[in-house]
A and B are shown apart, each in its own frame.
Chain A
Amino acid sequence: MKQGSQSWVFTNCPVIVGAAVVGGPREARGPLAEDFDLLHDDLLFGEKTFEKAEKKLLEEACELAVQKAKLQKQDIEFFIGGDLLNQIISSTFTGRTLSVPYLGVFGACSTSMESLALGALIIDSRFGGNVLCGTASHYAAVEKQYRYPTEYGSQKPDTAQWTVTGAGAVVLGPTGAGPRVVSATIGKIVDMGLKDPFNMGAAMAPAAVDTIAAHFQDLAASPSDYDLIITGDLGRYGHQLTLELFPKYHIDMPEEKYVDCGMMIYSREQPMRFAGGSGCACSAVVVFGHILNRMRRGELKKVLIVATGALLSPLSYQQKESIPCIAHAVAIEYTV
């Protein structure tokens, strides 16, 4: 049911009955390695190209999520997927493998929550039974498309982020024991005129705060209603800017309650960390793996995930356009 100006409250609380998270070599050396279902030690995992490797990541995550939900591929009624590559080709090929009705979405790095919100909507409105939501990203494939060839010797600034090589998928069902999706807030595009593609965190922060503010207003909620508020991939500098923006929106956010997946996925000791991780997989692997695990252990009961996306294209940047951004929020609850 719609509540407020841009939020949905799911009275029939769709349940996350299965979730799986796959990662690459960098993620394997990061602090959240234990929360992955599958880790690869190189960037190709037997595939011929980086693009095919990204497709394989998403296929693996989807397959594992379905297995963990104790279902078969044919039980999935809808697959909602998206990624960063042109024409969201990895999701398309995964949809081909799964052979179930497919909805492709593009939200850049906000895809994880965009697909989760839509999946929850399908279940809550009784327009479907089991829905699979997944997204993936691959460092090399994304660099090649959005920035430079991977072996090119350009000097990245400190505000740059490292695209996470990984995939996260969840199966949503109408009943069962597990974390429940209780509400979602669909974001609006927010563009504050920033143009630097090597500082996405600064571009996306206003979108994150805009959506969080809308969520709190629509649901008459506040930070105290959640154990943790987590943004997708604002990185170190975006995280800092977000903290500075909260007071301007009259949000009283205690610093320890607000974290960012981009800062969690890699540790300070890892080389070339820059501002943190990014990519569709960043929020997906951290939330569908680490955060859900913490909820299952009873450490967290209510979380608000705000996945952020920078919706620029390589061409729009060259044509001197600024970076339009979006953030989608989903609230998940779990009482053990």
Chain B
Amino acid sequence: MTEHKQRILTQKEYQQMAKANEPKRPVLANCVRAFLVGGIICLIGQGITDFYIFCFGFTEKSAGNPTAATLILLSVLLTSLGVYDHIAQWAGAGTAVPVTGFANSMASAALEHRTEGYVLGVGSNMFKLAGSVIVFGVFSAFVIALIRTLIAMIGGV
């Protein structure tokens, strides 16, 4: 009773159709926007660093910490006010790459999962998106430092 339908289209043929149909991402425009916004965030970071050096007596090396904390605070505020995601849609990597992106990934997850309570909701889910940065950062630092240290030891011996 069931006539075996001939394959009208192979998967490969359709995937080619779909690819041709997909709008090209505006790579150049996205890069320009990312450059501008990323650059401006770093400019603001530089300003904050100098502010801590001149007004609070930090050194160039130690001012990095409060700078990061300040940028993170600003990013968390913008996320909480519901504004960050709109800026990010426009800026793309411009907001994701600076430490603001890290802060946003944690704040947005924390806000979202508050409805599941503070322990299992906020506490467990806060690192949902930021976790991989920490895990891979730590692990790659471990590997690299291990290689460096072993080389130094062998070189020293």
Residues on A lying within 8 angstroms of B by beta carbon are: 5, 48-51, 144, 148-159, 192-194, 199, 202, 205-206, 237, 240-241, 244-245, 248-249, 272
B contact residues around A48 at 8 Å (CB): 115
Residue of A nearest to B23 (CB): A158
A contact residues around B96 at 8 Å (CB): 153-155
B48 at the interface (CB under 8 A from A): no
Jot down 19 A-B pairs with beta carbons below 8 A, ordered by A. A48-B115, A149-B111, A151-B79, A151-B85, A151-B104, A152-B85, A152-B88, A153-B79, A153-B96, A156-B89, A192-B14, A192-B18, A193-B14, A194-B15, A194-B18, A206-B9, A241-B17, A249-B8, A272-B89
B21 at the interface (CB under 8 A from A): yes
Q: With A151-B108, A206-B14 given, is the CB distance from A199 to B85 under 8 Å?
A: no
Instruction: Decide if A193 touches B15 in the complex (CB within 8 Å).
Output: yes
B64 at the interface (CB under 8 A from A): no
A contact residues around B104 at 8 Å (CB): 151-153
A151's partner among B30, B92, B112 (CB-CB below 8 A) is: B112
Expressed in whole angstroms, the minimum distance between the Cβ of B39 and any Cβ of chain A is 17
A contact residues around B8 at 8 Å (CB): 248-249
A contact residues around B9 at 8 Å (CB): 192, 206, 245, 248
Q: With A49-B115, A152-B85 given, is the CB distance from A192 to B15 under 8 Å?
A: yes
B22 at the interface (CB under 8 A from A): yes
B132 at the interface (CB under 8 A from A): no
Q: How large is the interface on B (under 10, 10 to 19, 20 to 34, 35 or more residues)?
A: 35 or more
Q: A151-B85, A152-B88, A244-B17 are in contact. List 11 more A-B contacts (CB 8 A).
A: A5-B2, A48-B115, A151-B79, A151-B82, A152-B85, A155-B93, A158-B23, A158-B25, A202-B21, A237-B21, A248-B8
Distance between Cα atoms of A154 and B105 in the complex (Å): 9
Distance between Cα atoms of A14 and B105 in the complex (Å): 50
Going nearest first, the 7 A-B pairs with the smallest beta carbon separation are: A153-B88, A149-B112, A151-B108, A149-B108, A202-B18, A49-B115, A152-B108
Residue of B nearest to A195 (CB): B15
B contact residues around A150 at 8 Å (CB): 85, 108, 112
B contact residues around A194 at 8 Å (CB): 15, 18
Residue of A nearest to B24 (CB): A158
B contact residues around A156 at 8 Å (CB): 89
Instruction: Decide if B115 touches A51 in the complex (CB within 8 Å).
Output: yes
Instruction: Decide if A151 touches B15 in the complex (CB within 8 Å).
Output: no
Using a CB-CB cutoff of 8 Å, which residues 44-101 of chain B contact chain A? Answer: 79-80, 82, 84-85, 87-89, 91-93, 95-96, 101
